[in-house]
Structure 1
Amino acid sequence: MRLKLAAIPVALALPLSLAGCGSSSSDSGEVADSGTVKVGFLSPAPRNDGGFTQYALVGVQDAVDAGDMELTSIVDNVAESQDQIEGLQTLAANNDVVIADGAVLNKAVAVVAPKYPDTHFVLVASDLDEFAENVSSVTVAVGLDAIVAGAVASMRSKSKKIGMIAGPEVPSSTAWYYGMKQGAALENPDTEVYQAYTNDYNDVGKAKQAAEAMIANGADQILSDLDSGSEGIYQAADAAAGTEVYNVFALHCDENPNIVGSGVVSWADVLKTSTTEAAAGDLPAGAISFGLESGALSFQFCDDKPSAEEKALVEKVTGEISDGTITPEENVLLPKPDYDFEQR
């Protein structure tokens, strides 16, 4: 795979322009000492994926626009591990801060970061196995949102069979499954919860096949932890009357009439905060988790979907998670690393 640095213009779906922010680093590969903090961004997904990567880029750009920073390079759609390592090395040689946007990048960051001790790496949605002085890993406690989503899906389900479909089977995705399982049991202990992984956030065909299989097993409520691959779940739901869909990250009510709501995760806010703090030297090394108190999480309905009973359920479960009445069960939260950890 040939890597393309930031000369590619961002698709119109992204509500800001990153065109023209190609690398301004010197030929020597060293970061120019201009006083402006240079930021590079790498993701295994396309920048206009309509989900995780696109929202992260919005947050990074917001931070850049508000501070003395320059987004010099974007490397996106980098699926192969060796390409990820090479892309991170290129960015690290030419930037003060490198955003590694994706849970699957933890191994590449672990390889590259020790070689560039003066570059601050921000690893998104995953932790390193071991502490690194120049790496901050930022995650969101998505399992808390999933508890609420699972309770709602269980209440709306006629079959008492619900499911979750994700891309790679990584902890940040399995947390959605375990959270939904806990939430469903709160509403009805007999509700069954299925899980499926396509190993690709954007493959529509694989997502459709997974959804069709889940529906064939009786599921009538499906949460999509996918990006553009969600379209495959919508297609399967369109063909199976009574099937309802839930998103993550943001509300997409206008994309399909079967969408009920979303476990909203404001990755844009998380990345804006993380990039700003990293550029200022204020983002601590180690692991940082954003939870309900940070404002990064909430369950939200599409306007015409909820009943009064369902709204009350969301308020009740959210409140009981926040005050500690509901304790997340095993695997709902990402495991805390053995090194420095901060819960926000």
Structure 2
Amino acid sequence: MRTRIPLTSAATALTLTLAACGNSTAAGNSADPASGTLSIGFISQAPRNDSGFTQYGLAGVNAAIAAQKNLKLSSIVDNVSNSQEQIKGLQTLAAGNAIVVANGASLNKAVQVVAPKFPKVRFILVAAHTESFADNVTSVDAAVGYDAIVVGAVASALSRSKKLGMIAGLQVPASASWYYGMVQGAGLDTSGAKVTQTYTGDYNDVGKAKQAAEAMIATGVDSILSDLDSGSQGVYQASDAATSAVDVYQVFGLDCKAGKNIVGSGVVSWSAILQDAVTDAAAGKLPAGAISYGLAKGAVKFEFCPGKATPAAQELADKVTKQLISNEITPATDVLLPKPPYAYAQR
């Protein structure tokens, strides 16, 4: 699994009204006039304890709360997969919170529908953009394509078959960025490495992920990027059981103990991104529009597992990272998430 981040920190001292999956308990007033406390609602497309994207985001919200005594997490709605559940959950949260964090790309349409009905609520949409500008919505994302370019370059250099693979859950823009970034990174040398992609339809289904990885390995793929949550266990299992070495690369976090063939990770600090966004929102300093977090701020960074980086591979990773930051390497059009046709900032 990816590194598990505790869902609570100093923020556990706060009283939380945690809803059951797919439901939410009313949050009450969004602000306490006497104390100046602002309440936060959190909604996600996956379970709150998914060991990945959702858990990292929630950890960032808790970190912002722990650093500021005027914030409280009042309610959570998780595991909402269809549009009706998402709209209902957002409406429930918006009715009782000053800030609502919509954690997941599939929530973008629901936010577009609900946000105009609650103009005094600040919505933070994670990993996606709304179709049109709203002055109470801020979209935040990680420029994962930068990480993917470094992964592609390293995987290509270390690959023996020059056949690379990427396995993801859904065909969302962020997963496309991982794929096209790997393609660009692999193309930085003249090895002729090729990258294939597979979508399982589920970020947490271990069986589907294992089958997808086994199918790739059967075609000669010896390096796989797993853009999955708990489903990554299936990729590790397939890699560990392979008759020849199959390198695995993670995303978001780095958990080198999860499998014997894990080389490294295109680390994305969603917790840092959410902490920054929530802190600014609480202070009234979060601009409406879209914000992308990249290499320069350390929101994304490639990291090797101990002992897995040859001197040449580490030198290559450092070189490509520096070239991306200095714009010596320009990401291809498909590598970065599409920019919305409204206010946009790169951090």
TM-score interval, normalised by the smaller of the two chains: over 0.9
Query: Which moved further from structure 2: 21-30 or 84-93?
Result: 21-30
C-alpha spacing 1:133/1:225, structure 2 compared with 1 (3 Å):
same
Compute the displacement of 1:61 (Å).
Answer: 0.3
Partners in 1 of 2:262 and 2:318 — Cα distance? 20
Which runs of structure 2 are paired with 1:293-304 in the superposition (5 Å)? Answer: 293-304=296-307
Compute the displacement of 1:32 (Å).
Answer: 4.6
Compute the displacement of 1:28 (Å).
Answer: 10
Q: Which of 15, 18, 22 is the aligned partner of 2:17?
A: 22
Match of 2:115 in 1: 113
Compute the displacement of 1:14 (Å).
Answer: 2.0
Q: Which of 277, 281, 285 is the aligned partner of 2:280?
A: 277
Partners in 2 of 1:288 and 1:321 — Cα distance? 19
For structure 2, the 5+ residue unaligned runs are: none
Instruction: Give the root-mean-square deviation of aligned CA atoms.
Output: 1.9
C-alpha spacing 1:139/1:13, structure 2 compared with 1 (3 Å):
closer
Match of 1:45 in 2: 46
Structure 1 counterpart SS, 2:187:
helix
Q: What letter corresponds to residue 53 of structure 1 in structure 2?
A: T
Partners in 1 of 2:110 and 2:237 — Cα distance? 35
Partners in 1 of 2:131 and 2:119 — Cα distance? 18
1:249 is the counterpart of 2:252: yes
Match of 1:66 in 2: 67
User: Which whole-Å deviations, capped at 9, do the CAs of 1:7-26 have from their partners, x for residues lacking one?
Assistant: xxxxx962526595007999
Which runs of structure 2 are paired with 1:172-251 in the superposition (5 Å)? Answer: 172-240=174-242, 241-251=244-254
Structure 2 counterpart SS, 1:16:
coil
Q: What letter corresponds to residue 16 of structure 2 in structure 1?
A: C
Q: Does the 8 A contact of 1:154 with 1:188 survive in 2? A: no
Q: Does the 8 A contact of 1:97 with 1:119 survive in 2? A: yes
Partners in 1 of 2:130 and 2:246 — Cα distance? 38
Q: TM-score, normalized by length of structure 2?
A: 0.92
Partners in 2 of 1:28 and 1:185 — Cα distance? 51
C-alpha spacing 1:75/1:182, structure 2 compared with 1 (3 Å):
same
Q: Does the 8 A contact of 1:43 with 1:100 survive in 2? A: yes
Query: Which moved further from structure 2: 17-26 or 229-238?
Result: 17-26
1:306 is the counterpart of 2:309: yes
Q: TM-score, normalized by length of structure 1?
A: 0.93
Match of 2:30 in 1: 31
For structure 1, the 5+ residue unaligned runs are: 1-11
Partners in 2 of 1:100 and 1:187 — Cα distance? 39
Match of 1:5 in 2: none
Compute the displacement of 1:96 (Å).
Answer: 0.2
User: Which whole-Å deviations, capped at 9, do the CAs of 1:113-152 have from their partners, x for residues lacking one?
Assistant: 1111111000000111110111000011000000000011
Q: What letter corresponds to residue 272 of structure 2 in structure 1?
A: D
Compute the displacement of 1:27 (Å).
Answer: 7.3
Q: What letter corresponds to residue 135 of structure 1 in structure 2?
A: V
Q: What letter corresponds to residue 300 of structure 2 in structure 1?
A: L
Q: Which of 311, 314, 331 is the aligned partner of 1:328?
A: 331
Partners in 1 of 2:90 and 2:217 — Cα distance? 40
Q: Does the 8 A contact of 1:26 with 1:32 survive in 2? A: no
Q: What letter corresponds to residue 323 of structure 2 in structure 1?
A: E
Tell me the percent identity. Answer: 58
Partners in 1 of 2:30 and 2:7 — Cα distance? 29
Partners in 1 of 2:296 and 2:151 — Cα distance? 18
Partners in 1 of 2:233 and 2:27 — Cα distance? 44
Q: Does the 8 A contact of 1:73 with 1:91 survive in 2? A: yes
Query: Which moved further from structure 2: 14-23 or 242-251?
Result: 14-23
